[in-house]
Amino acid sequence: MWPPRRITAILTGLPAQSYHHIVKKAVCNVYEFFDLHQASEIIRQFVYFYNGERLHSGIGYLSPNQYFFKLGMKIPPH
């Protein structure tokens, strides 16, 4: 079967859709925002928690950031 399932997911944006669904479910459906600045700050805090503090069983109970650095990867300069 072509294209492979993973390629199909990447081409259709499924990983991004999944992530946006998580943000929507955990943040947007819970908080009521009064302005764009407040929404931006709360989403920034959630992303920090999601990538930096949340332990994930699929990667050895590390946070995604810890796993990323354990692999020897570095954050590219902006």
DSSP assignment of 21-64 equals: HHHIIIIITT---SSHHHHHHHHHHHHHHHHHT--BGGGTSB-H
The CA distance from 24 to 60, in Å, is: 26
Integer Cα distance of 43 and 59 in angstroms: 24
Residue 46 predicted with pLDDT over 90 = yes
Q: According to the model, what pLDDT value does residue 53 have?
A: 93
Domain ranges across the chain: 5-70
Q: What does pLDDT average to over the chain?
A: 81
CA distance 25 to 35: 19
Task: Give yes or no for residue 74 having a pLDDT over 60.
Answer: yes
